[in-house]
Amino acid sequence: MTLKASINASNIVDLELTQINDNEFTLQIDSNEIQLSLHLNSAQIQILGLKCVHYIPDIEPKFAVASEEDVFRIPVKEIITLEDREIQIIMREAQAGDTQQLIWYMQDTEGFASKFLNNMSQRAAEIMRDDLESHYGEQHPDTAESHRTEKARKATLHILNIAKHLQRTGEISAF
């Protein structure tokens, strides 16, 4: 079901964010015209918050985000804190194409690519490196065509959602 609504912010009577558990939140927006309840996971909350901070002028530098792309990358960076066994579980659940796009998209995050490539067989890692080179060459995700970057964002979010699901089921630890 698709529902489109536009609310003038001056009509918002109440805005409340409630944490349901470690990974689930409810954002309740009440206005004179509509009541809206959004169920969001922690990654979505973090992305929403970072996007908001990105547009606030004169915010403290420690809260400023360098680029809009960083908004999508920040929640994913924590994946590399997982144990090798947990990275392998995530890769088994994810499609190889999504993993390839994730590695390309996160290339500036120190140790990210090697964390994934080191958890593949030697042959699979060689194929992945070759595929990355042939698909992307020297192209950087921050300067790539928008369709390519958008596709990588979706793959990244898909893998993040897989990781969050595996957290909820207890198959991997929290990150």
Query: Mind listing the pLDDT tens digit for each residue in 40-65?
Result: 887 788 777 777 766 666 665 555 55
Whole-number percent of the chain with pLDDT over 70: 90
**Tell me, what's the pLDDT at 100?**
97
**Tell me, what's the pLDDT at 91?**
97
Give the mean model confidence (pLDDT) for residues 72-80.
Answer: 83
Predicted confidence band at 151 (pLDDT cuts at 50, 70, 90)? very high
Higher pLDDT, 165 or 2: 165
**Tell me, what's the pLDDT at 36?**
84
Give the mean model confidence (pLDDT) for residues 107-118.
Answer: 94
Cβ–Cβ < 8 Å for 45, 64: no
Cβ–Cβ < 8 Å for 100, 135: yes
Count the alpha carbons within 13 Å of 35 in the hemisphere toward its beta carbon.
Answer: 1
CA separation for the pair 60, 73 (Å, rounded): 20
Cβ–Cβ < 8 Å for 71, 42: no
CA separation for the pair 139, 121 (Å, rounded): 26
Q: Which domains does the chain have, with CATH numbers?
A: 7-65 (no CATH), 66-168 (1.10.220.30)
**Residue 10 pLDDT more than 80?**
no
**What mean pLDDT, rounded, does the chain reach?**
86
Q: What distance separates the 2 farthest-apart alpha carbons in the chain? A: 60
Give the mean model confidence (pLDDT) for residues 78-82.
Answer: 90
Q: Between vectors from CA 45 to CA 42 and to CA 51, what angle results, nearest 5°?
A: 140
